[in-house]
Amino acid sequence: MPENYNVLNSNSSNSSSGSAFCRLLSLTVLDLSNNKLTGELPDCWWNLQSLQFMDLSHNDFSGEIPAVKTSYNCSLESVHLAGNGFTGNFPSALEGCSTLVTLDIGSNKFFGGIPLWIGQSIPSLKILSLRSNNFTGGIPSDFSKLSQLQLLDMANNGLTGSIPKAFANLSSMKNPKINSTDQSLVGTEGKDGMLSFAL
């Protein structure tokens, strides 16, 4: 039976990220949040095809998220990259992560347009935070295909245009009661027990 590795957070480490984790092929949970880790993610990062939960938030990581090999089999369900210095376009590596439920890439330096494939390739998304980046262009109407989406935060970007009328189809976003700050998102339950949202 493969081992499950859990790297605990809040170690206040001054070390930079390395490729040692890429050899832990049975790793399912990786939490390095709230440290002082620096550097770029290694190209071998996507060898961790058993990884389900990854939290690198609130460190000093930088650079672009590495592209993946065509044979990549993504098992990620929860990705937290907020509060770093990541840059580049929206991470294309996530396009194959059809089981992704939570994605928080807020408070980084990502730029460019928000890709249309999010609404098509990540149907299980419930929480999506893109806040405090440099995204531009319009809001993709294909977001309306995310039938399970409960929280959507795109504040503090350079987005233009109107909110797509198709957003009326997002039935999981009833009773908006979200309190959001630059550093956190706190959700509350609506009458029917579903997490609400605010833009």
Asked if 56 and 81 touch (Cβ cutoff 8 Å), the reply is yes
Q: What is the pLDDT of residue 168?
A: 83
40 within some domain: yes
193 within some domain: no
Pick out the chain residues at pLDDT < 50. 1-17, 176-199
183 within some domain: no
CA–CA separation, 56 and 62 (whole Å): 11
Domain that holds residue 82: 6-173
CATH at 38: 3.80.10.10
123 within some domain: yes
Q: Diameter of the chain by CA atoms?
A: 52
The tokens describing 56, both together, are 């690198």
149 within some domain: yes
172's enclosing H/E stretch is none
186 within some domain: no
Q: What is the pLDDT of residue 167?
A: 85
Q: What is the pLDDT of residue 175?
A: 55
Q: What is the pLDDT of residue 19?
A: 65
The number of distinct structural domains making up the chain is 1
